[in-house]
Structure 1
Amino acid sequence: MKPILEPIPLGEQQTIKGFHHVKKDFETPWHFHPQHELTYIEASVGTKFIGDYVGPYEPGELVLIRSNVPHCWRNHQQQITDSKSIVIQWNRGVIAKTPELAPVFEMLKMASKGIIFDQREIAPVIPQLKNMMQLKGQYLYLELLTVLIKLSTTTFKTLSASSFIEDLPTEYGTRMIKIHDFVGAQYHRKIYLKELADLVNMTEQSFSRFFTNMMGRSFFTFLNEYRINVAARMLLDTEDSVSQISFACGYESPPFFFKKFKDIYKVSPAKYRKNYIA
């Protein structure tokens, strides 16, 4: 299992990188890097992990992540079409810190928790993001600065409860990658704490303490959030009954699933499906 640090080939000759991701899956594991990052989801649905945040994602989302914030996007396995995204990454310090750009730097500071923008307000910026895929050198630099200035005037909200500024120890990242992979593959069944502890060579008590310190909540609270987000997507993408979905997401009791779903989405599963499909 590779460590959490993702090297990005940016240096003296190139400080900004833009690329278009088109593959069946978002393959990158839970990771961090010393560059800032803008990610725009064009196609795909699933669950995003930003710092200690876990929640659904959908096409049209634009997320800004400051350097060193651990993150990943996991598309749902039921997805048939390719996962598509636009990603812009740039080195810290390439933009001069001037009084005129104070709103941009305030936005970047808040991005230490990961921020997501209001989709309606950022609509005029999306063509610029797409255009950046064709630009190089000074033109790419100027377009990035223009985009960041525009974004700093829009509505956005933070995602993670905790800020991430410093690099995480490699061993922590390796453990979290294993945990994320395990949950993504096994959420549909009963999971025992001992399985996770053994997976990362820790005692159950040490694992519980480690996970809570990393994610700001217990493992089983995190697992419940993950399952409910998968269930919410299944309610929209399948015709399975609510009970079938509850069992498919690892819940042994549909009434317990209903309660947990309503705790997070504030409506019943049936009402959630009706609101979005009607």
Structure 2
Amino acid sequence: MNKYSPFWVVPYISNNIDIKLYKNWIFFSSLEVIEGISPLNDKGEDFYNILRREVSLYDNCLWIFNDSKFEEEEYAKLNIILKNSLETYLYSFISRPGIIIFYKNGGFTEQPPSFENFTTGVVENVTNEKIKRILKITDFIYQRELNHYLEIFEYLREIKKSKTFIRELALWSFVEQHWKSKEGEYIEKSLKNMKAFIFGEDYRNEFRRSFDENLKKFNFSISNKKGNVGEIRNSLAHGSFFKNKKNWNEDDWDLFFNIHNKLFDMILLGIEKEIFEVVN
């Protein structure tokens, strides 16, 4: 039976990864692939040129290879998990997998990756820590068949790609449902539960304090009163934010996006903790 070793390309990133290996994952830049350093050997330059006609590849793009050999269904499943986890953590996107096919007679052949019709205006920084987080989550979900968490990452990925106010409402709604301890609890209690789960009683945690302070500032700035998380969620749901955004100043927008980014990061920290500490 044939075996398959998949590989992927992530464009539109500032590649600051200086590790070459993490578990069964191997990383290369476009330049290294072109020079024949990757498992593609001299096919690397051909595949790079094929992809360059599809999207604007450049030397800092990240090529990710998995050194394992899979059955066809196994690598297809791994691809779905990696796509949803990576595109939840990053604003960029990942290619459809290329494949190195190993035949039972000892021969092998390579097939190039390809891209769906996605665009992004963001060139983001990808670090050693971030790529390790993505691949650790991918491995856990794949190896332990955590289909429930795959569904969560599919949902969070869709939120990540959504328009600003739709994305914000969906995030708060996710927190409210995922971290409520019993029926009838509202968003304030769910947010408190999430922070307690992640940070425990460490109320001096800088990330936690920064989020709480910015939330209070934002509430006061746009409503002239202390307000609460429930009011924010309701304003999003009823369209008040969209209607009143024309009155926001630059500081309001900065606070809005700062709160959004920190909330998304907290959600990911909470999901990671569930998977690595509770499920495991």
Flag the structure with larger Rg.
2
Q: TM-score, normalised by structure 2?
A: 0.29
Higher helix share: 2
